[in-house]
Structure 1
Amino acid sequence: MATNTISVLPIPPCCRKTQNYPLSHPPSLKPGILVTSFIGTKLSIRPTSHRRRSTAASASAALSRLPTPKQGDSSEEPPKWSARAIKALVMGELEAHKLCYRQTGTESLLLGILVEGTSLAAKFLRANGITIFKVQDEIVKLLGKGNLFNRSPSTPPLTKPARRALDWAVDEKLKSGESGEITATYMLLGIWSVKESAGHRIMATLGFDDEKAKELAESKNKDVILSIK
């Protein structure tokens, strides 16, 4: 019985014949096109390093879109957004884009916090039965699906309610007088503070209330510790 073989293209200039390898000892796969003789299909193999670079670039660009405290007369450095909060914004923008929305609203920020998944805010939401799938369903119920023919920007700009939620997070961090970063917990509480926003309405529909907001606010220090790890 013939042994199945695979071929890797492109072939080095010095070789004109297809190089065959037994499947039991495949060659190391490098960027190029993989041709399988027993399937007859071509698969592209591309390096993944550019994905890591693009993710880092997205996070860096997202930081410029987040409001930051202005340096006042105090000698202390103003607080910065945590890495988890920045990633939550990036994930929120991505979810808005996937839903074909032209802007990133509070509902997308809420979804971004859950998609990021590792912050205290995300864990608190899940512990209270607020999951990615439930939020996605409520977003579609409330706002409908975006128009597939109305192309969404790759990074949909923030809506006014979303900006207000993020501004609230910054102001509240400064009022607290606490050290550390502006975390996803502040972002989530900021969404809840904008009463007329889609994010607030979805949270309320799924059982979030002022008592839960108070409970989450009291655990903000844990989120600061979590962001350091």
Structure 2
Amino acid sequence: MAARILSFLPIPTASSRSSAPVKSMSSLSPPLSHHAVRLRSFLIAIPISVAPSLLFPRPSLRSAASVVSILPTAKPERASAEKLPRWSLRAIKAFGMAELEARKLKYPKTGTEALLMGILVEGTSETAKFLRANGITVFKLREETVKLLGKSDMYFFSPEHPPLTEPAQRALDWAVDEKLKSGGDGEITTAHLLLGIWSEKESAGHKILASLGFDDEKASELAKSADKDIVMKYR
């Protein structure tokens, strides 16, 4: 369609430009190339309301979500496993928020503490609601994280996607293993992720949770509803 519009647009000739009197300094600029003239005419011909969507189409959220159905794993044989359960969209979003939290704190890696913050920043999962109901908020997590790990150098900048620490990676793999053990259909949820963090006894995430009153009893209570993570649907 664009090619047809371009082919019928009038193109100024060299003779018409040379015969016109010079009325301003703008006319002294070098003449546009053949392709530049066509492109300018094309852009002028397109309505303003149509041009942005035509020239810069937005990617489909549905296709973007399908690309990130598997979070990082330390077990490469899982990458090609077709029957491997997928992470819920809320868990995937929580993981993205965890990377962002690590960057905000200028940490070089995404640790279990950042995964915890990611769950609460995402905020809409049953796990996030459970944590808030027990007095655990993202503000308290950030405060306890700085107390435990300290502040990063103000001149340090985290990478765009801070790599996972070993405890954080084990927490993700634990969540997948636990879902496989339980069997049945469904996705790996933020509850599985939180319980994976809790399983890493020496991790910063476990220590922070414990300092805020989370214990094995609450972990058992959360495990009973681990599969109840409402799936987000993109329109």
Q: Which has the higher strand share?
A: 1
Which residue matches 2:180? 174
Kept in 2: contact 1:183–1:227 (CA 8 A): no
- Determine which of 181, 196, 199 is the counterpart of 1:193: 199
Q: Partners of 1:80 and 1:103 in 2: how far apart?
A: 24
Give percent identity, aligned residues only.
Answer: 61
Superposition deviation, residue 187 in structure 1: 0.3
Kept in 2: contact 1:59–1:90 (CA 8 A): no
Which residue matches 1:40? none
Q: Partners of 1:63 and 1:148 in 2: how far apart?
A: 34
Which residue matches 2:8? none
Which residue matches 1:89? 95
Superposition deviation, residue 57 in structure 1: 9.1
Kept in 2: contact 1:59–1:87 (CA 8 A): no
Larger Rg: 2
Q: Partners of 1:222 and 1:65 in 2: how far apart?
A: 19
Superposition deviation, residue 89 in structure 1: 0.5
Counterpart check, 1:227 vs 2:231: yes
Secondary structure at the residue paired with 1:221?
coil
* Unmatched runs of 5 consecutive residues or more in structure 1: 1-29, 32-45
Kept in 2: contact 1:96–1:156 (CA 8 A): yes
Superposition deviation, residue 53 in structure 1: 5.2
Query: Partner letter of residue 171 of structure 1?
Result: D
Which residue matches 1:128? 134
Q: Partners of 1:103 and 1:190 in 2: how far apart?
A: 18
Q: Partners of 1:207 and 1:99 in 2: how far apart?
A: 24
Which residue matches 2:208? 202
Provide the aligned length of Structure 1 versus Structure 2: 178
Which residue matches 1:78? 84
Q: Partners of 1:131 and 1:152 in 2: how far apart?
A: 24
Kept in 2: contact 1:62–1:90 (CA 8 A): no
Q: Partners of 1:165 and 1:128 in 2: how far apart?
A: 22
Secondary structure at the residue paired with 1:220?
coil
Query: Partner letter of residue 231 of structure 2?
Result: S
Superposition deviation, residue 60 in structure 1: 6.5
1:8-157 mapped onto 2 (5 Å cutoff): 63=69, 65-67=71-73, 69=78, 77-157=83-163
* Unmatched runs of 5 consecutive residues or more in structure 2: 1-47
Q: Which has the higher helix share?
A: 2
1:92–1:60 distance in 2 versus 1, CA, 3 Å:
farther
Superposition deviation, residue 71 in structure 1: 6.2
Superposition deviation, residue 62 in structure 1: 5.4
Asked which structure has the greater RCO (Cα within 8 Å, sep 6+), the reply is: 2
Give the 4+ runs in structure 1 shifted more than 2 A.
Answer: 52-72
TM-score (norm 1): 0.69
Output the aligned Cα RMSD: 2.9
Kept in 2: contact 1:114–1:131 (CA 8 A): yes
Residues 23-54 of structure 1, C-alpha deviations (whole Å, 9 max, x = no match): xxxxxxx89xxxxxxxxxxxxxx99xx9x859
Which residue matches 1:183? 189
Kept in 1: contact 2:189–2:227 (CA 8 A): no
